[in-house]
């Protein structure tokens, strides 16, 4: 039976470390501020934004929320980002995705100052991740790395399979594993012999967005299985991309859904915002 990797416990440790450093900065007269922009009334987005506000309170940050009407123009949103880019009280800027169809997400992401891009979505920061010289890491992949590290297993030399190739998770995830000297394979919807490839992996990161997609027949005995998925079944229950019931009997370590990767994403956002504040104070 697999050992459970408890994301709630590990994220609490990360936030406690961030809180300790935030107190030290306050003693130097430096406060940390995160601005979150939410456009429209998407229920899931509201849940995420509220979670981020709560996390800011826990670690001692100032939280600035900008809730905009779903009919806001792209230019009005760009103007707000420009104001926040130039606001010394704001160390990090986060625009909650998805945005309404009339607003181009890439244009908005590219307008955020790379120094305040605590999601690490700006092309400048993406490029720095590629070459291994980064200040910020995307929150979900960096959270996954913390979860893997918590097992005590040395990543170096291990075979890692990332299922999913999104810009937010799959691609940066593969780079972080590569930086730790794993041998990485990226799989996706058009991969041939996906099950056979997964069975070779010492580490599987599932980020494909399909409920219970990874089954025990695709997992090597004793593998580390990290489930990034968050899917809602017809009965209303949340589940991941991994069939937890069967895979947990075969894996060495596994993350639950919920309570695995989710809490880590927000904890790493706090860590990135702290980093931005430190970098800003050194200018």
Instruction: Return the closest-CA partner of residue 11 out of 271, 272, 278.
Output: 271
Annotated active-site residue in 117, 119, 227, 243: 119
Q: Is 119 noted as a catalytic residue in this protein? A: yes
Residues 248 and 251: their CA atoms lie apart, in Å, by 5
- Do 161 and 200 touch, CB atoms closer than 8 A? yes
Verify whether residue 28 is a known catalytic residue: no
Per-residue three-class SS string for 128-172:
HHHHCCCCCCCHHHHHHHHHHHHCCCCCCCCEEEEECCCCCCHHH
Identify the active-site residue in 96, 116, 243, 271.
96
13 is catalytic: no
- Rounded Cα distance, 277 and 274, in Å: 5
Q: Report the distance separating Cα 240 and Cα 233, nearest Å.
A: 10
Please name which of 203, 227, 217 lies closest in space to residue 250, comparing C-alpha atoms.
217
Query: What span, in angstroms and rounded, lies between the C-alpha atoms of 153 and 148?
Result: 7
Question: Tokens 């408890």 identify what position?
Answer: 6
User: CA-to-CA distance for 212 and 234, rounded, in angstroms?
Assistant: 13
The one catalytic residue in 15, 52, 158, 220 is 52
Q: Provide the CA 214 distance to its chain's centre, in angstroms.
A: 20
Dump the DSSP string for 31-48: --EEEEEEES--HHHHHH
Cis peptide before 189 (omega within 30 of 0): no
| Residue positions annotated with a catalytic role | 52, 96, 119
């Amino acid at each position: 039976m697999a050992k459970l990797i408890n994301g709630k416990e590990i994220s609490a440790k990360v936030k406690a470390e961030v809180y300790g450093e935030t107190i030290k900065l306050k003693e130097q007269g430096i406060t940390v501020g995160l601005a979150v922009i939410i456009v429209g009334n998407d229920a899931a987005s509201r849940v995420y934004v509220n979670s981020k506000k709560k996390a800011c309170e826990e670690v001692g940050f100032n939280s600035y929320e900008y809730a905009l009407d779903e009919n806001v123009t792209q230019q009005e949103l760009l103007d707000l980002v420009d104001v926040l880019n130039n606001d010394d009280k704001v160390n990090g800027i986060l625009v909650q995705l998805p945005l309404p169809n009339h607003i181009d997400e890439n244009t908005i992401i590219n307008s955020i100052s790379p120094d305040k891009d605590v999601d690490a979505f700006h092309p400048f920061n993406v490029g720095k991740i590629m070459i291994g010289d980064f200040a910020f890491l995307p929150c979900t992949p960096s959270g996954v790395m913390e979860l893997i590290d918590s097992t005590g297993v040395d990543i170096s030399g291990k075979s890692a399979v990332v299922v999913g190739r999104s810009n937010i998770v799959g691609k940066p995830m593969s780079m972080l594993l590569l930086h730790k000297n794993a041998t990485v394979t990226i799989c996706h919807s058009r991969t041939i012999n996906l099950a056979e490839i997964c069975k070779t992996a010492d580490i599987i990161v599932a980020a494909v967005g399909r409920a219970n997609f990874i089954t025990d027949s695709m997992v090597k005995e004793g593998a580390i299985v990290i489930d990034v998925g968050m899917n809602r079944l017809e009965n209303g229950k949340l589940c991941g991309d991994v069939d937890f019931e069967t895979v947990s009997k075969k894996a060495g370590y596994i993350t639950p859904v919920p309570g695995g990767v989710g809490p880590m994403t927000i904890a790493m956002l706090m860590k990135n915002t702290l980093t931005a504040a430190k970098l800003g104070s050194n200018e």
